[in-house]
Amino acid sequence: MPMKIGNLEIHLGPQEVGGPDDLRQEIISFIGKAKKTLYVAVQEIDNTPIAQAVTAAKQRGVKTVQVVLEQDYLRSGKIHQTPFQSGGRHESNRILHAAMLRTDVDVKADFNPAIFHQKFIVRDGSAVLTGSTNFTDTGVGKNLNHVIILKDKKVANAYTKEFREIRQGRFGKRSMDRDEKPIETKISGIRIKPLFAPDHAPEMEIIKQILKAQTRIDFAVFTFAQSSGIDDVLKNAAARGIQINGVLDKRQANQSWAATHHLRVPGVSLCVAGNRGALGKVHHKLMVIDDQLVIGGSFNYTGPANLTNDENIVVIGDLEETQAAIRRKQRRLGQFVRAEIDRICADFGEVIN
């Protein structure tokens, strides 16, 4: 079961590898409630039921259905001698892309020479779905991911603004010159702060929150590179007595550029998981601080994610919150996410530090 507090929801999955929630169904259900507008910004769509939900929205009369995708998943990596025959890598993406075009869905490929790594939907100007989940068979059925749903007009306006900038070709470094500071609002009393990369430098926000930690930091991240500054501040936190527990994707963590090597210090507990049995990747981009603050979204802990890719994060909670009732809500969310991080390590993990 997801964690729901009023108009704020966190879904962790997929159920196929022991997660509590059906991520595919949550995405389909979210799309299925659209009445007037649907804006989809996602790296990749190769899952047929999700694509069918998008086309069904247009077919049932949703006036504006717009999609932006990373074009690398629509192109072939080589020149085919028989280009008018189907087949080849990413053919499922191309088939679903064509199906959306045939239902008059307005689909565009990104202009970003780096990675268009967004994963969000804005529905009817009043609700946002985001998180780490690509709309792919592996994303909703094999890789460990999360979905965050925020039902709030101010948040929806921020994501709509970002979507329109994307559609205008303001990608990556092109978007860094005019953006406003990130918004903050409250949903069911809990502070919500969405940030977009590279406009808002999410890495600095994560570092700022880590510096406020009092007792513990738990994280699960797909790609954690030395090009990020987050590893340094985590080492500093461990040195001042903060308990650090992390889960990393095994293949990514073993790369020469990975921050894993820097994090093998006293006070930091690490495990790696992935590519074992039914499990694909540990694809989360999650952090929990003091069981009071959750950071999720599409943002891997790398230099390119902060500087050149298109990304978003959501900061949920406030480490300086003083109201006991709100702190109890924050703790429910934080402990829910931390329990899944612990489960991943217990069920699939190999302790390396």
User: Given this model, what pLDDT does residue 77 score?
Assistant: 65
User: Given this model, what pLDDT does residue 93 score?
Assistant: 82
Contact, 104 vs 56, CB < 8 A?
Answer: no
- How many independent structural domains does the chain possess? 2
Domain containing 129 equals 3-167
pLDDT digits (tens, 9 = 90+) for 189-218: 999 999 998 889 899 999 999 999 999 999
User: Given this model, what pLDDT does residue 307 score?
Assistant: 83
Q: Decide which of 139, 167, 195 is a domain's last residue.
A: 167
Q: Using the structure block, give the residue that is written with the tokens 């049932």.
A: 60
pLDDT digits (tens, 9 = 90+) for 236-252: 999 999 999 999 999 99
Q: Is 177 a member of any domain? A: no
- State yes or no: pLDDT of 82 exceeds 70: no
Task: Give mean pLDDT, residues 149-170.
Answer: 92
Question: Looking at the structure, do residues 151 and 269 belong to the same domain, yes or no?
Answer: no
Q: How far is CA 72 from CA 54, 214, 262, 346, 352, in A?
A: 21, 43, 32, 36, 34
Task: Give mean pLDDT, residues 288-305.
Answer: 95
Question: Looking at the structure, do residues 8 and 130 belong to the same domain, yes or no?
Answer: yes
pTM for the full model?
A: 0.94
84-88, 115-119, 337-341: least confidently modelled range: 84-88
Q: Is 173 a member of any domain? A: no
Task: Give mean pLDDT, residues 72-87.
Answer: 66
Measured over the CA atoms of residue 305, residue 306, residue 312 and residue 314, the dihedral's sign is positive
User: Given this model, what pLDDT does residue 2 score?
Assistant: 93
Question: Looking at the structure, do residues 160 and 248 belong to the same domain, yes or no?
Answer: no
Q: How confident is the model at residue 131 (pLDDT cuts 50, 70, 90)?
A: very high
